[in-house]
Structure 1
Amino acid sequence: MIDPKSVIILLVIPQNRFCDQQLLQLKSIFDEVPVKTVVLSKSGQEAMGENKTRVIPDGILVDWDKRFLQNKKYDAVVVVGGKGAKASIWNDPILPQILTDHFRAGKIVGAMGLSVVSLARAGLLSRQEVSAPKNEGCIRELEDVGAFIVEEPLTFSSQVVTAGDDSSGNLFGKKILELLGFS
Structure 2
Amino acid sequence: MEYSKKMLIVIAPENFRDEELFEPLGILEENRIEYEIISTDKGRFRGMLGGYATATETISGILQLLEGGKGMKHYGGLMIVGGSGSKDYLWGNEELYTIVRYFDKAKMPIGAICLSPVVLARAGVIAGRHATVWPDKEAVREMEKHKAIYENKPFVSDGRFITANGPTAATEFGKRIAEAFLGEVIYTD
Query: Where in structure 2 are the equivalents of 1:6-155 lying within 5 Å?
Result: 6-64=4-62, 66=65, 72-155=73-156
Q: What TM-score does the superposition give when structure 2 sets the normalisation length?
A: 0.89
Identical pairs, percent: 25
Q: How far apart, CA to CA, are the structure 2 residues paired with 1:144 and 1:52?
A: 33
Residue 168 of structure 1 is matched in structure 2 by: 169
TM-score normalised to structure 1 length: 0.92
1:3 partnered with 2:16? no
Q: Is the 2:162–2:173 Cα contact (8 Å) retained in structure 1? A: yes
- C-alpha distance in structure 1 between counterparts of 2:11 and 2:143, whole Å: 20
Asked if the contact 1:116/1:132 (under 8 Å) is kept, the reply is yes
1:64/1:151 Cα in 2 relative to 1: closer, same or farther (>3 Å)?
same
Q: Aligned pair count?
A: 180
Give 3-state SS (helix, strand or coil) of 2:43's partner: coil
Q: Is the 8 A contact 1:73 1:102 kept in 2?
A: no
Q: Which has the higher helix share?
A: 2
Deviation, structure 1 residue 71: 5.9
Residue 101 of structure 1 and its aligned partner are, at CA, apart by 0.8
User: How far did residue 18 of structure 1 move?
Assistant: 0.2
Give the aligned residue type for 2:11.
Answer: I
Unaligned runs of 5+ residues in structure 1 are: none
Q: For 2:75 and 2:138, how far apart are their aligned partners in 1?
A: 29
Superposition deviation, residue 73 in structure 1? 4.8
